[in-house]
Structure 1
């Protein structure tokens, strides 16, 4: 008995991985995520619609449970999870996602606000009329190829015979491997007009075809505000469409106004409506605006209605601009017209999409009328045989009565062979030998019923034959002339437009950029308080004065400032963080405040604040910087008036940190103390003024690895005394030396 031996093939692991990944990627691209440019459908959508067609769930018949449709589709055509099939079915029924829904849903199929559909055991569905007439018609006329399903037990269409560019009408979105598609929906009537225009002039340009298809038509309406950019987007198949919701300003009692949003951008559907409401709340909480009194979502089945009530005297239009800038009321729709064409993914422009569709329409029409012509020709052959048989019906009856079996009679009708058949006369036999019906005609004659010999029936047969001849001539004319075929296709398209087209919902224009003018805040003196935990707040000057003793003891930083000004936070790593005073909570003395980290880029875990001041208080002054490595400089305060929230306040050497930062006083001296208790006193005016980007000059000459520990700026009014090893050191009595010297040891 021969042994079974395994054959081991040695190969490079990377080659196997590469091939496997490429196979997987192509499977995702072609058979899952990207639509076919011809019917605009992904495989799961195509299989679901075809299964509903096969189950007979048509627009004029009762609804059927979605669970039945999903189960049947999964068992026959789509061997994947039921959630993917039901998800595709639900989307095809949602009129707020599809420009032209393909499924008529009955039950809870979700909402525009992001509510999910009910379970498939509760919902029902059937095909829409347009789906039946424009997507699934003519499947019995051999117009598309049928391929085996996953287990070769059924046949499924490789593409549906869609008569309109569904890829434009309903759009598409999908993420494959290394590529994604995002196609906006368009208006059915406009797209049909564009197809007809292309058929009449195949050299039509993008700009010319956009006279018929001016841009996307989203089911949620809204406004496209970059009309001039659409030509380049539709030329290349890539770009960004800018969308705005439709806003109305309504008057209220007492001279107040309210902003009413009646249409939203297509990108806002779903959970983004809730996010929009939260974003508006945030604008109020962060004091971006104080004009909003209330916001409510009053949307219903009748449509979107989001109401924002305003204070009396509020500038409603200015607030609309704020919403456009800070929320998704103005958004972008990224266009990437990527679809499978001729078996491979291709990015295409508007004209290219329509070109592919028109080629497909000619292919469908050719196959359809070829099938119809063959059918009519077969019918004509039989009709001619029956008409001829009526003329010699007596002879045929004689042949039938004289034949031993049907095979003998049929052979006589086809070849004229009379052997073995009994005839009444030699003349009959001779006439019979001259018969030459075709096999199909002979079969029809033998199956003909006697009532067909009635005069009226014969007349009807003659009339039917005339009609058949007309059909043959018409089909031959269509197949023989591309221009005639084009007229037929155009006639069908016009009929679809007349029955199913609807008015455009989305407005296309060149909108003005949203410019929001912030209300000028009345400048009043306030006091910033920062406690030891880094919480900040501002209080009125009078509040601070009444609670001065408690404020001074409870807070580590107290900074007088103006309510419209900025606060400078200088940190030891040389950074400057600017904070608007208006961003700091203003309130009562006992209010907790807010962590300074929350309103600035300052990070308390990695840096320490060495100096806080109001920007306006240092604009005409100079700041004195001293670092641990004894680098000193003066910097004009005006250099810190910058637009950035965070900027470099100074340049530091590697490993260095800011030790001392304060406003430089005139006629003062500076005392530096090192780790080894060397003291150096020199005039502050010996320190040169530098730009904030400079390192500075050396103050004290330090030993190796030695750093400064303390800095004092002295005037003659107050004497500074410190203790070193229980010995008092009078800083004001230190000898004034030159900068960049070692100093004296204490």
Structure 2
């Protein structure tokens, strides 16, 4: 080992713990959570800054999103193009953001869950509000810049956002061990709350909520737990109950229709389709018979889901059922977690406003300090130029008499006249008294001759007066807290006037939706299933009236309770469990519903071997016979499962179930193969196995042969087996041992 090398021994668990904590903090701070100051996650901040750097402003042409994503990834955010594009898309979606920050051109997805087009097709540019309220002061040294990931560029630590964006647009994100979920709010209300806090920093959350009524979702809707909001906004955690907006419209013939015009914010995307499916299910399961048609007429203009009703339908009861049984009433979980002072913190409404205002005073201070420095520099130069105009003849004489620029500048700054030719001693004496600053001297030497025109001199003096006023104003803002507060308030008022919109979401205290379901009534039914797999439930009385036809036309006739399940064993070794309640009740002559629609049964790839009620199956024993000749007896209790589909048995490769027979007191088993080979042996030779076992071999098959039929025989001398419509006494088949070749029987 080299002397320079050194092996550090440490506990593996300590290394893992430290590494995981480092990873977790990286995800929390640098990816998943927004900053309380600008309300943006790093990917959003970097994307907006990159668009600003590329000059993709609101008043300039759109640029391809692929260009924006590629530039952002290459310069600032090396975490994959999909995360950047998804962030860009969300910032452009009006149905997700109260105040969209990006102006998208092309297909940016829909409220119904359609995804945006690929970034090579879509275009974007900054929204006007983003440019004016998020990025306008970056050139005034208002925020710190830090190196990017490879230290080739600089990026802002935070954007100088002038609105409380964390509240206005909200945020959601999943970090490691924590998640954030902040609802959007109305811009005007939030600004009013900020102004109220500026006037009284002892204001309570309850008083702030006279300005901020509650969340304001882009999709509208109704918040129904107003009384709980104060506690939610105090702690930063809680559950907001949301409802969609439903109105009743008059239709033709005295009929009415329910029209859903606003949906809960949580229903955005695929949940609209799930909501419609829930309504279909309510209709199919006969939970309601009042809905006769459902249509989704939503468009770019807004949501419009129409439910056509029967005449004299109880609309109030139906609306309550929709709230109770579908996602038309939903819960929005609030967890106002954000990065504050470099660490994650759960914040209440007042805390967020406090952090925001501290940030506003910080960036305003830095902004006016920078502007003051520029004005002081301008004042210095203006005073030098005004003074120079008074002695312009002397300055021209110095310039004409100097041998180089350095000599002339030395004379202007320090009054050094050596080496300069003057016309008179008086001029030399006057030149020796000159004392301009470095900046003034540079400005004088760079001044153009047209500046000596009378009007230009007057304009310079007027500009100087304005500069003095600006300096006084900026010093007043920087020295007096009240003056700075007025500036911030003025900017907030201007943004509210320019971008404020009326509230979309109603906040109220609503009574809980009351819907009483019909009490479930346990009853006996007859399940009929034909050879094509169509099944239906009928009343026992209807079955008794049509018993002969029912028995002849259906393969399976099962008498059971409506609380039972139907067990469908198939050739693939699977068991499908079908709830009797899911089988529609019908009349005897109704066609019925395919089993495929009621469970996972696949009629294109499997067929039924044995069908019975689950209550009967679990109290019996079943003999499984595979086509390759393997047998076993399984206790029915093994099939008492809650899943809709389970593996009923284990099969060898290329094997399938040939028969499943309920075992009672039968003494003999008879097997028949495709080639006409028969074998009879005692039932006791087949052991009882678990459903996961393959079983034992019942017959030795020749190549290409397989089991075609199986029978259980109680008394061979008295019972017959039916083969090709012929009855054959079971006693004709010689009793032998299991796992022998069997004998060919001449019919």
Structures share fold, TM-score greater than 0.5: yes
Aligned match of 1:210 = 209
Q: Structure 2 matches for 1:520-599, cutoff 5 A?
A: 527-529=525-527, 538-540=537-539, 542-548=541-547, 558=559, 585-588=585-588
- 2-structure distance, mates of 1:306, 1:548: 46
Aligned match of 1:703 = none
The alpha-carbon deviation at position 392 of structure 1 amounts to 1.2
Contact 1:526 1:538 in 2 (8 A): no
Going from structure 1 to structure 2, the CA distance change for 1:135 and 1:590 (only over 3 Å counts) comes to closer
Aligned match of 1:467 = 466
Aligned match of 1:632 = none
SS of structure 2 residue aligned to 1:387: helix
Aligned match of 1:69 = 68
Q: Structure 2 matches for 1:259-338, cutoff 5 A?
A: 259-338=258-337
Going from structure 1 to structure 2, the CA distance change for 1:225 and 1:555 (only over 3 Å counts) comes to same
- 2-structure distance, mates of 1:494, 1:590: 69
Unaligned residue ranges in structure 2 (runs of 5+)? 566-578, 600-611, 621-641, 643-664, 666-713, 718-747
Contact 2:586 2:592 in 1 (8 A): no
- 2-structure distance, mates of 1:529, 1:451: 105
Going from structure 1 to structure 2, the CA distance change for 1:305 and 1:532 (only over 3 Å counts) comes to closer
Going from structure 1 to structure 2, the CA distance change for 1:605 and 1:44 (only over 3 Å counts) comes to farther
Q: Structure 2 matches for 1:287-436, cutoff 5 A?
A: 287-436=286-435
Going from structure 1 to structure 2, the CA distance change for 1:555 and 1:590 (only over 3 Å counts) comes to farther
SS of structure 2 residue aligned to 1:435: coil
Contact 1:206 1:234 in 2 (8 A): yes
Aligned match of 2:133 = 134
Going from structure 1 to structure 2, the CA distance change for 1:499 and 1:542 (only over 3 Å counts) comes to same
Aligned match of 2:494 = 495
Given the alignment of the two structures, is residue 443 of structure 1 paired with residue 442 of structure 2, yes or no? yes
Superimposed CA distance per residue, residues 598-650 of structure 1 (whole angstroms, 9 cap, x where no aligned partner): 89xxx988995669xxxxxxxxxxxxxxxxxxxxxxxxxxxxxxxxxx9xxxx
Q: Structure 2 matches for 1:470-489, cutoff 5 A?
A: 470-489=469-488
The alpha-carbon deviation at position 94 of structure 1 amounts to 0.4
- 2-structure distance, mates of 1:180, 1:166: 18
Contact 1:172 1:182 in 2 (8 A): yes
Contact 2:524 2:559 in 1 (8 A): no
Aligned match of 2:148 = 149
SS of structure 1 residue aligned to 2:381: helix
SS of structure 2 residue aligned to 1:240: strand
Superimposed CA distance per residue, residues 658-691 of structure 1 (whole angstroms, 9 cap, x where no aligned partner): xxxxxxxxxxxxxxxxx9xxxxxxxxxxxxxxxx
SS of structure 1 residue aligned to 2:436: coil
- 1-structure distance, mates of 2:359, 2:522: 73
- 2-structure distance, mates of 1:394, 1:3: 80
- 1-structure distance, mates of 2:618, 2:285: 24
53-62 or 538-547, which deviates more: 538-547
- 2-structure distance, mates of 1:548, 1:82: 68
- 2-structure distance, mates of 1:587, 1:344: 67
Superimposed CA distance per residue, residues 333-380 of structure 1 (whole angstroms, 9 cap, x where no aligned partner): 111000000000000000000100000000010000000000000000
- 2-structure distance, mates of 1:556, 1:117: 52
Contact 1:224 1:506 in 2 (8 A): yes
- 1-structure distance, mates of 2:178, 2:448: 64
The alpha-carbon deviation at position 545 of structure 1 amounts to 2.5
Given the alignment of the two structures, is residue 224 of structure 1 paired with residue 223 of structure 2, yes or no? yes
- 2-structure distance, mates of 1:135, 1:56: 14
Aligned match of 1:113 = 112
The alpha-carbon deviation at position 205 of structure 1 amounts to 0.7
Contact 2:529 2:536 in 1 (8 A): no
The alpha-carbon deviation at position 324 of structure 1 amounts to 0.8
SS of structure 1 residue aligned to 2:330: strand
- 1-structure distance, mates of 2:556, 2:402: 124
Contact 1:525 1:540 in 2 (8 A): no
Contact 2:266 2:332 in 1 (8 A): yes
SS of structure 1 residue aligned to 2:293: strand
452-461 or 93-102, which deviates more: 452-461
SS of structure 1 residue aligned to 2:492: helix
Give the TM-score normalised by the residue count of structure 1: 0.75
- 2-structure distance, mates of 1:380, 1:173: 49
- 2-structure distance, mates of 1:512, 1:142: 53
Superimposed CA distance per residue, residues 33-84 of structure 1 (whole angstroms, 9 cap, x where no aligned partner): 1000000001111011111111111111111111111111111111121111
Aligned match of 1:171 = 170
- 2-structure distance, mates of 1:525, 1:432: 119
- 2-structure distance, mates of 1:325, 1:272: 16
Superimposed CA distance per residue, residues 562-602 of structure 1 (whole angstroms, 9 cap, x where no aligned partner): xxxx8689xxxxxxxxx99898634327866899xx89xxx
The alpha-carbon deviation at position 154 of structure 1 amounts to 1.0
Aligned length: 603
Unaligned residue ranges in structure 1 (runs of 5+)? 570-578, 612-645, 647-674, 676-722, 727-746
- 2-structure distance, mates of 1:131, 1:487: 23
Superimposed CA distance per residue, residues 535-574 of structure 1 (whole angstroms, 9 cap, x where no aligned partner): 9964245422223467789878646x9xxxx8689xxxxx
RMSD of aligned alpha carbons: 3.4
Aligned match of 2:653 = none
Going from structure 1 to structure 2, the CA distance change for 1:199 and 1:583 (only over 3 Å counts) comes to farther
Aligned match of 1:657 = none
SS of structure 2 residue aligned to 1:105: strand
Give the TM-score normalised by the residue count of structure 2: 0.75
Aligned match of 1:161 = 160
Going from structure 1 to structure 2, the CA distance change for 1:409 and 1:283 (only over 3 Å counts) comes to same
Deviation >3 Å, runs of 4+: 2-7, 517-521, 523-538, 548-559, 566-569, 579-584, 589-595, 603-611
Superimposed CA distance per residue, residues 217-250 of structure 1 (whole angstroms, 9 cap, x where no aligned partner): 1001111111111111100000111111111111
Aligned match of 1:516 = 515
